[in-house]
Amino acid sequence: MLIDAFETERLSHRPLTLEDLDGLAGLYADAETMRHIGQGIPRSREETRESLEFLFAQYRDHGLGLFATVEKASGRLVGRCGFIVWHIQGVLETEVAYLIARDCWGRGYAPEAAGAFLRRALVHPAWPTSYCVSFIRPGNAASIRVAGKIGMTFWKERTLMGMPALAYRKDLPPRP
C-alpha cells in the first residue's frame, strides 16, 4: 500500500476488510447518505460486498483505495475515506473520496479525514499523478465545502459513471 493505516485527532483510518461489510452496508443502505454517491441510490448488502471487492482490486492494482474511517472515541465505523483510481477517457485520475455516516454530519469528520489523505498524497514520492481530484455531484453543497476546506478548487465538469460531476483539484508539488 502506498498509504498505511494512520490516525487523525478524532479518527483512525485503516484498509477496509470483509469484516467491515456490516458497518459499510449500514452506511450504504441509507438513502440520504447515498444521495450523491455513485448512482445516488442506496445499496443492498450484496452490492456493498461487490463495492468491497472493487476496493480490494484497487488495493491490489494501484496500492491505493478507500479506508475504514473509525471514530476513536467509540470504535465505530463512521465512514470511508481515501482514494479511488479512475481511468476516464484514457486519463488516470486519482480521487480523494469521502463518505461519512449521516448521524455524524456536521462534526467536521469529512474535512479531517479527506484533508489527512490529501496531505499524504502531497508528500508521497510514488504518487501516480501530478494532482488529486474530488468528483462531486452538482448540488452537493456540503461536499463542495469540504473540497474547499482541504484546499481544492473547481477545475471542470466531468461525466462519471454516466452522471454529471464537478471536478475539484489540488495540484501536487513537483517530484524530484
Low-confidence ranges of the chain (pLDDT < 70): 175-176
This prediction's pTM = 0.93
- Helices 109-123 and 141-149, interaxial angle, to 10°? 50
Q: Which residues contact 76 (CB under 8 A, 6 or more apart)?
A: 23, 70
Residue ranges of domains in the chain: 6-130
Is the dihedral angle over the CA atoms 139, 163, 135, 98 positive or is it negative? Answer: positive
13, 6 Cβ separation under 8 angstroms: yes
65-111 residue pLDDT tens: 999 999 999 999 999 999 999 988 888 899 999 999 999 999 999 99
CATH of domain 6-130: 3.40.630.30
